[in-house]
Amino acid sequence: MYQNSCGAAAASAGGCIETDRDCHSLISKEPQVAAIEHDYSGFDIVKATQYGAFARVKELIDAGYNVNERDSETVTLLHWAAINNRKEIMAFFIDKGAEVDAVGGELNATPLHWATRQGHLEAIVILMNSGADPTLRDAEGCSCIHLASQFGHTALVAYFIARGVSPDLIDRGGMTPLMWSCWKVCNLDPTRLLLTLGASPNIPDHQGNTALHWAILARNTSAISLLIVQGKASLNASNRRGDTPLNMLQSQIGSTWVGTKVRDKIRDNIHASKSKAFLIKIIKDKRLKWWCMVGTPFLAFYLAGAILSTSLLVIIKFFFLVCLYIVIHYAGQILYDDRLMALLPVNIYLATKIWMYFTWLIYIMPFVGLNANIVFFSSSGMLWYFFLKSWLGDPGIIATSQQLRFRTIIELAEKGPSGFEPSNFCSACLVRRPLRSKHCSVCNHCVAKFDHHCPWVANCIGMKNHKYFIGFLATLVIMCIQLIIGAFKFWQNQEECRLSFITPNFWDTMSAIGQCDTWVAWVSANAFFHSIWVSMLLVCQLYQISCLGMTTNERMNRGRYSHFLSNVGKSPFSRGYLLNLAEFFECTCFGFFKLETKNWLSSYDLDKNVEHQPLIRHKDNYQYV
């Protein structure tokens, strides 16, 4: 009788399988051979069903064979058709009155159980549409969603939940699909998918173990991280033996399979439970930590400028600057977690710009004309507008809801397994992926026409805010250049600096500027540095938009997309320099002509005149850009 070899392998303690593809590589994999004619006339109906000989099957059924006839082990023909994914034969049997929930074999399983073990999505869709019950348990006490979770069949788990199966359904031992996934599957999915669809990480089984207990027992690093960092699993839930996840992880905190983020969470919980010291309470205060993160770049910028403005020897100034860096570095490690550190670049930007305003108002404004002040504040006002649009605006997030997720899953499932390829389906957001979209691991969203995630605006850059990001870069360069010009006017009006400008020695000039007013020199140096790298980024962005017709993600990963490969590495979306720019900035020349633009939120295929193949080389759902 049928015994799944993958099931035997997965049953070993702590054993994880990677994906349903790994399972398929071990069992029921049909060899790829050249199409030849076979003589099936001598096959009995079971063998004809297994080999997919539909004509022979039909011949025997029409001759009077009972479609619900069972063999010596109570297995029906529908079982054999389901395990071998013989879709046409399955539909024929069901049309002839086959019992879709027939129980048979050693495990007293239904055809749906057999198809689930093998990961045959098409067979499952046929059975479910014919009324098969996915909640029935086999002899081991598992329903179909538990089997799908054990073997890492993510698409099947999604389909069962979309068809109404509870993500918290328990088997005979009290284990949920999430527990099985954490115990048996080393990949992110289906654990991530189950959490996204509402599976509870804190339900205990009959022994009191939660999903996190099972993940720790399996040393499943990805599952542990997901449950603690994203799933909000309790570290203090005790099983019947009195073991908590915190105690189990604490004893293994030095092990390589315990991730960095998990270690941080463990230490936070240990401090929270043991420390009563006033200083520790301050350190763990989330609101205080947030304000410290906001204030640190402002304070660091000022202290660096203050140190440089002193009359100390250069080497002593350098020593104090190094000390300042060390103090801020180690204070940051104590105070800030990864979430707060992600805000550091945007806070550095804000601190730099605020001190530039301060310098302009206090030092430079009296020495420049009215027109220069108007231009400076007008352009900086535009800068704030573009910055806020880039920072707080919607980059083009693919919106979804639970109902829409379920509908999408069902629609893609009925198209076959290819519907759940990473090129078509995001297993994190559970949405169908539009063309040119990408999942951002930082924001945890799929973004239409994704360009990159910019830490300086703490947001993704995509379809809806890309043009504002270009405006942000351009106005930032203008502001920096204006401040540098204003600083030179300030120095020209200082007696101790004026004569230094006529000397041909560059370093004498720089020394005189520093002695004239070190703070202005410090701020100007920052403005000069920003103007250089922001200008380079602006030129690169405009080149990609106008000349290449690509996003940053597409340019860096064009080898992953077949529509770029089939177009000799060129973008199939490019329409020429001028049209690319006009389309990007939505120029209509005051309504004299109308551009034909695509809505990248809902564009799933290339134009008909462009050759299109599925995306390839999808090692993962995202890369860092």
- Residue type at position 150: Q
Distances 409 to 116, 161, 617, 618 between C-alpha atoms, Å: 17, 9, 23, 20
User: Is residue 289 within 8 Å of residue 340, measured between CB atoms?
Assistant: yes
Q: Letter for the amino acid at 190?
A: P
* Residue for token pair 């027939």: 102
Catalytic residue of the set 454, 460, 480, 497: 454
Q: How many CA atoms lie within 13 A of 374 on its CB side?
A: 3
Residues found in the chain: 625
Assigned token pair, 352: 């730099």
10 Å Cβ neighbour count for 525?
Answer: 17
Q: Which residues pair with 229 in a beta bridge?
A: none
Residue with tokens 């939940």: 161
> For this structure, is 547 an active site residue?
no
> Which residues lie closer than 8 Å to 124 by C-beta, 6 or more apart?
112, 115, 116, 144, 156, 159, 413
**Cis link prior to 434 (omega < 30° from 0)?**
no
Going by their DSSP bridges, the two strands 459-461 and 425-426 should be labelled as: unpaired
CB 426 within 8 A of CB 446: yes
Q: Dihedral, CA atoms, 517, 522, 527, 529, nearest 10 degrees? A: 140
How is residue 80 written in tokens? Answer: 């054999």
d(CA 192, CA 206): 24
* Torsion-angle region of 617 (φ positive above 0: left; ψ -120 to 50: alpha; else: beta): left
Residues classed as catalytic: 454
